Structure formats: C-alpha cells, structure tokens
Chain A
Amino acid sequence: MSNPSDTFAQEAEELLQSLEQSLLELEGAPGNATLVDAVFRALHTLKGSGDMFGFSALARFTHHFETAFDQVREGRARVSHELIAVALASRDHLAALLALGAEAVADAGIAAEGHALLARLNAVVEEQPAGAANVEARATRTWHIRFRPATNALRNGFRPDLLLAELAELGRLDWSCSDELVPAIEDLDASDCWLVWEMTLETSGSREAIDDVFLFLQDGEIDITAADEAPAEAETGDEPVTADKVEPQLETSAGPAAPKSDSVRVQSHRLDELMDQLGELVIAQARLRRISDELGDTTLGETAEEIERLVTGLRDATLSIRMLPISLVFGKFRRVVRDLSEELGKPAQLVTEGDETEVDKNVIDSLTEPLVHLIRNAIDHGIETPETRAAAGKPAAARVTLRARQAGGEVLISVTDNGGGLDADAIRRRAIERKLIAATDDLSEEALYQLIFEPGFSTAKALSSVSGRGVGMDAVRRVIEDLRGTVEVRSRTGIGTEVTLRLPLTLAIIDGLLVRVGEGSFVLPLASVEECVELPEDEEARQSGRSILRIRDQLVPFVALDTQFGFPPSDRKRRRVAIVSVEGRRVGLVVDDVLGQHQTVVKPLSAYHRGIEGLAGGTILGDGSVALILEVATLVRRAQSAPRIAA
C-alpha cells in the first residue's frame, strides 16, 4: 500500500465524484431512497476515513453535512432544488478541504465559507415541515422471508442467532424454523445445517436493508417477498428474489454509487512506463526482423516471426489496459450543464450515449477541456432563450447530447444540441470582417461552418462570462489535432448543431504507412490512408501547387510532398499517390515510393522541433534511422491554401 493519505485522497476524490453524481440524479428523482442512501453512504465513508487519515476539518464538515442529510434520509426533509444546490456547493467545499491536504488548518476564508454553507444547509432541511417528506414514504411493509442456509454455513461461521437479531433490529420479526430436511440421525453430521427458516418481518426499512442482512449468505436459498401490494416499489420490490438473482448485489455492497469494478488499481505512470518499454520492444523487434531477413537463416527467421507475433499480442493487450470508458469524462459534464443552464437561464438537460465506449487514457485526459468548451458553446450560443424556443414551438428544456462510439480505429465523440443551429450568414459576415475569406468567395454552408474553428473567430455578440474567455473553437481544434484527431461540424437552422470529434483509439503506437520522399522516410497514419495509386505520367510534369487526379470517376485533388517540403524536385518516374481522407474529403499525397506498413512507435519531437506544422512526431525504424510522422490534416489544409493553378 502506498502512502495511506494519498490512498485516502484518491478514494475521497472518487467519493466526491459519486456524491456529485448521486446528488444530480437525486434532483431528477427526489423520491429515490436508493440515491438518498448513496449520498448518505458517500458522506459516511468520507467522514470515517477522513478522520482516520488526519483530514479532520473535512471530517468535521462532512459530519455536519451528513447530519443535515440524515433529515432527508429519515423523511423529515424534502429533496428540493435549493437543497441540491447547497449540497453541491458543500460538495465543492469538501473538495477544497481535501485539496488542502492532511493535517492542514483551513484559513479563515474557507472556514467562514464552511460555516455559511452549513447554516444554509440546516436552514434548507429545517424549513421543511415535518411530514412533508416526499422521499419514498417509509411506511411499514410486511415481508415474507424464506431462508435456507448452505449446508456448510454453520461450520463456516454463520450464526443464526445473530442473523435473527439483525433482522429484529429492522422491525417486528416473527419466525419459525422447519427441520423437515434434517436427515435421519445416523446420516447426520452435526455440524451441517439443514434447517429452513420462515420469517415475517414488518419493517419501515428498505429492501436493501434486508438484503444487507443476508449479504454473506448468498450461497444459501433466500426468498424475500413483500406481502402487500405496495405501488411504490412495485417494479422491483415485489419480485421474489432467488439466490442467483441476488448474486450480482454482492458487488454493489460496497455502496450503490461506487463503480462496480473487478479491477486492480495501477498508477498511471506505471502504465506509461510499460508502454515505453513496449515501444522499445517493438523497435528492437523490427531490428531483429531486419537482421534475420539479411542473414536469411531459417531458424532465426522463424524465431523472429514468432517474436513478432508475440510482440503484436503484447501490444494489443497493453493497449487494452490503457483503455478507459468514456463515461469517466461524460460523468463530469452533468454538473457543467446544470450550472450553466442555471447561470444562463436556459433549461437544458444532458443526455449521454455510448458511455461504455473505451478510449486511451491519455486521450481521455485531454478530452475534458475541449468537451467543456463545446458544451458551453452549445448552451451559450446554440440553445435559444426559453422565449425563442416557445415561439418556435420547441420544448422549453433544451437537450445537449454527448455521444461516443467506436468506428474502426477511431472513436467518434459528438456534442449535439437541439438549439437554433449555426447562422451561416453571420459566420460569413464575420469571416469577411476578419479577413478569413474574401467577400467574393463562394463557399458552401459546410465550408462556412468549418470557419468557426479558425483562430480569432467568434460571432457571439456579447462575450458572456461563460464562453468567449479567449479560447475559441480554434483551441478545441488544436487540442484534437494534437491528439491526431479531426473536428467536424454539421448544423441545421432551427434544428440544432452537432460537433463531431474523430480521435484515434490510441496515441502511443499506431499503424503507419511508411513512404519515401526524396532522401527521407515518412510515416502516414494508416487510419487516414484510404488507398495508394500510381501517379499517371501526364501528371508527372506538374511540379507545384494543387492539381486534380481522376480516380474511378472521382476527382481527387493532390499535392506533391517534395514540393510541400521544399525538397529538390524528384526525378523519379512512376511515383505513387497515397489517398488520404481528411474531414470527409479525399486528398492525394504524392510520394516517391510506398515502402509498406509499419508498426509505428510514436516518439515526441524535441521541444525545438515541436512547433513545426504538419509533423506529429518521429519514430525509429528497424535499421535505426528516424522517420517523421506526418500530420495529414494540417498538410492538407496547408496544401489547400496554396495558390491554385488553372487546370
């Protein structure tokens, strides 16, 4: 175990996150007792461990928070909008206390904030008249329980007396015990358990509380049925639960809000180290392959091939360890949407789809900021005011949808709003004003929409405090391109806007296409290469600028990389064109030769070279030489801004 207070800090962060989640869900379902319990349990755990690890200010505050929330749990206070607001603010206060570290003494400002919050919290829970509770009514219900422990239960430490006592604590318990199953005395092992209990329990406690009593006894037969017809829990509560149906709850016993994980915690730098080592292994393996090819020894060749297979397997396994569900990022945005819609007076609801989609950890880490920005934009600029929506006959509450899915080697993440859509005319005016396009340029709406990603572009009339903090959509595009991804926007007036981020699944090792241009080797990310064709001889003559190639009746513009890079013009005959796809458009890149597929370990460029446009990094080839990895999107954009030559 590492430093316990670090472990606590990590656990506390997770607890705070699940607390936030539960509070937000509770707002939408104020009667849900399970959520109230989840909130309560998170607070309780936080208090307990906080004290244990020297976070006493945090533990004290949590204690009062918990006490106030107990009113809700006991049904003496109602879940209101105001309560959730104060509770969320209190959660933030806890996060601030946590950040101070163990044994830290909060300064006067923070302490005062804490007092103020607790006062508000108490005021909210106390102003509710007793009995006004709309938390799931804690009416007494009658449950029939039939329980037959596993035969070896007694040997394994099960104590029927304690079980019955625990149940009796929940309410009024009647029970009888049947010995029908007990075998004849000559066959009986006295330490086996053959008894069957029939119990009737009248309790105001929840079904979960009863399940908790039987937590360790799932290997027996347990039947819990509600005797009455209770509408409140009709959906789930009345169903007889057999042992194997109960089983999944084993895992949730850690707390309903805690993520179910049968996982091992690993510090992320260890994963990075593993990835680095693997990268070196891939490079060494390429070298081995090359040497074995040169020597032509069969035995060596076979071994080299086997190692290659193993390395590929190892690579895939390692990459899959780094994959995390996107829900880790999506989860954070409920709060963002809630706070923003509050601040701007635009009721909006967040819907997420594809939460289970897995993305490389490093990609996930970099995604938060761009997504926050896109969501801000969606609510601030995309969604209309309630009045406008009403006039257009749209529902008052707008919707922002976060969607993730995997497609090939890419992850698509989209932010969609059902607002007013982009205003193509306003974008056009603005772009002309900012000299991004000429007044005479005739651009399609699609092309106009893409302009919002240009640096310095912003059509918002008044810069609100929400968006327009100096970072624009260009910052979003920059981050996404750093991740070797692309951004697309689609919009329909009156219907809404959708921004889609296309990202590679992983960053550390990619499949690349190795090409030669002049003296140098370069890697094109294979994911963006569609096909390779030969450059027709009549096009060979062209040495500069942009031109058009006809591929199966489709016109594809192409650029020669030697010209782009300022290399001496190639004198090579029969050059090749790699057709790449960028933002849905096909563009050809002319290279001297295509050398083949290459498992590319991406190495960052030195700080000195990092700023160079069009380069995504470098890699080491099997012969020890270096190849640069090209950033296709940037190259294509640059090529397109080059002067056109008349066809």
Chain B
Amino acid sequence: MTKTILTVDDSRSIRDMIAFALEPQGYRVVKAEDGKDGLAKARAERPDMIVTDLNMPVMNGIEMIRELRADASFNGLPIVMLTTEAQKEKMLEGKQAGATGWIVKPFDEAKITGVVAKLLG
C-alpha cells in the first residue's frame, strides 16, 4: 500500500525537494505550508509519517508536534523535524514535544530517504 508522507514547510523549495526525493521511491507526498495547515492535513490525510520544519509562521513545528502528540490517534506516528541550526536545544525541545527523529539541513536525497526508511521500515 502506498505510504503517505506529509511535508510541512513554509519554503516551497524544501517541500518540492522532499517530494522530488520521495515520490520516485513510491511514496505519496502531501504538502502543508505551516503548522496549522500541517495539523489540518494530518487529520484529513492520516499520513504514515510527517516531515516538518520548525521555524514557520502561524504555528511553528514544535507546537504542531505537541498538538499531534496530544491526540492519541496519532500515537506511534513517526514525525521527523528539519533543523537548520543543528541546535541541540531545538532538537531536544522537538524531541520532548514528541518528534521521532530529525534531519539536519542541508540534506540530500540520500539522507531523507535514509531517514524515512529507518522510521517507516
């Protein structure tokens, strides 16, 4: 069954890049532009995994992760955060909010498909 991955990022080029990397691998990629949009798409699309940026307008990634984890129906959903800064505090904060893993920007195709495979099997 085709797995769906939701990418949440305010930068179109990042969203496109993730789709570019994952679609040829047979994943369906759904895009959202900020945390709020991400939350809505997550509820509507029930993705198998979420890849989200942290710094976004309207609702940032960490708040979105917190909201998702507060909803038991998203238990066990792998959520990967994209961090530019490779900042430990940001990563720990995200991890505490309930992120499963992270990808440090800049990333390449291999890195993202690697992480997706690691968390989705």
Contacts and interface: CB of A to CB of B under 8 A. Distances in A.
A254 B104 contact: yes
B108 interface: yes
A191 B72 contact: yes
Given A156-B99, A158-B100, A7 B106 contact: yes
Contacts of B120: 162
Given A155-B75, A263-B85, A45 B110 contact: yes
Nearest to B97: A156
A11 B106 CA distance: 8
A166 interface: yes
Contact of A156 (B69, B88, B102): B69
Contacts, number: 87
A262 B72 contact: no
A220 B17 CA distance: 32
A52 B16 CA distance: 12
B100 A157 contact: yes
A251 B86 contact: yes
B69 A159 contact: no
A157 B76 contact: yes
B91 interface: yes
B104 A1 contact: no
B20 A52 contact: yes
Interface residues of A, number: 36
Contacts of B14: 1
A253 interface: yes
A1 B18 CA distance: 14
A161 B84 CA distance: 30
B109 A49 contact: yes
Most buried by A among B11, B77, B104: B104
Nearest to A45: B108
Contacts of A155: 69, 75-76, 98
A219 B88 CA distance: 13
Nearest to A50: B108
Interface in A35-69: 44-45, 48-49, 51-52
Contacts of A156: 69, 76, 79, 95, 98-100
B79 A162 contact: no
Contact of A264 (B49, B77, B85, B102): B85
Given A44-B110, A155-B76, A156-B79, A251 B98 contact: no
A154 interface: yes
Contact of A165 (B101, B119, B121): B121
Contacts of B110: 44-45, 48
Interface in A275-311: none
Interface in A245-291: 247, 250-251, 253-254, 260-265
Contacts of B2: none
B13 A157 contact: no
A262 to B, nearest CB: 4
A250 B93 CA distance: 14
A95 B9 CA distance: 32
A169 B84 CA distance: 30
Contacts of A173: none
A260 B108 CA distance: 18
Contacts of B111: 45, 48
A49 B91 CA distance: 24
Contact of B118 (A4, A166, A247, A261): A166
A483 B99 CA distance: 48
B104 A253 contact: yes
B87 interface: yes
Contact of B98 (A152, A260, A264): A152
A18 to B, nearest CB: 14
B78 interface: yes
Given A155-B98, A261-B86, A264-B85, A162 B121 contact: yes
A254 B105 CA distance: 9
B121 A159 contact: yes
Given A1-B13, A45-B108, A216-B101, A154 B76 contact: yes
Contacts of A7: 106
Contact of B88 (A44, A158, A166, A250): A250
Given A155-B69, A155-B98, A250-B91, A48 B76 contact: no
Given A157-B76, A161-B121, A191-B75, A262 B101 contact: no
B84 A264 contact: yes
Contacts of B119: 157, 159, 162, 216
Contacts of A49: 106, 108-109
Contacts of B118: 162, 166, 216
Given A45-B111, A49-B108, 10 more contacts: A1-B14, A49-B109, A51-B109, A52-B17, A52-B20, A162-B118, A162-B120, A191-B75, A250-B91, A262-B87
9 contacts: A154-B75, A155-B69, A155-B76, A155-B98, A156-B69, A156-B98, A162-B120, A215-B101, A250-B88
Interface of A: 1, 4, 7, 11, 44-45, 48-49, 51-52, 152, 154-159, 161-162, 165-166, 191, 215-216, 219, 247, 250-251, 253-254, 260-265
The 3 closest A-B pairs by CB, nearest first: A157-B100, A157-B78, A216-B101
